[in-house]
């Protein structure tokens, strides 16, 4: 339950957007990033797939990743 899926977009070391599964939407950090975040948040099919990433990417691999770290 303590897993969080985060997807960030950077350009020239500047963070433009960030998706966090705990927030459930994209947040923009620059003017262009806010436009991109709004466009992504309005795309229902894309948002459904990105929200499902926690269960499809993180959950199946958590034990393997935890074992590799230790």
The Cβ of residue 50 has, within 10 Å, a number of other Cβ atoms equal to: 19
* pLDDT the model gives residue 1: 57
Task: Name the residue ranges covered by the structural domains of the chain.
Answer: 6-68
* pLDDT the model gives residue 17: 97
* pLDDT the model gives residue 15: 96
* pLDDT the model gives residue 46: 95
Query: What is the CATH number assigned to the segment(s) 6-68?
Result: 3.10.320.10
- What does pTM read for this prediction? 0.79
3-class SS at 27? strand
Task: Report mean pLDDT in 10-residue bins for the chain, 70 residues.
Answer: 87 95 94 96 95 86 80
* pLDDT the model gives residue 54: 86
- How many alpha carbons fall within 13 Å on the CB side of residue 28? 12
């Amino acid at each position: 339950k303590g897993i969080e899926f985060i997807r960030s977009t950077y350009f020239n070391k500047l963070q433009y957007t960030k998706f966090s599964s705990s927030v459930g939407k994209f947040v923009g950090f620059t003017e262009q990033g806010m436009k991109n975040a709004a466009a992504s948040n309005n795309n229902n099919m894309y948002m459904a797939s990105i929200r499902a990433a926690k269960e499809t990417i993180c959950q199946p691999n958590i034990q393997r990743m935890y074992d590799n770290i230790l």
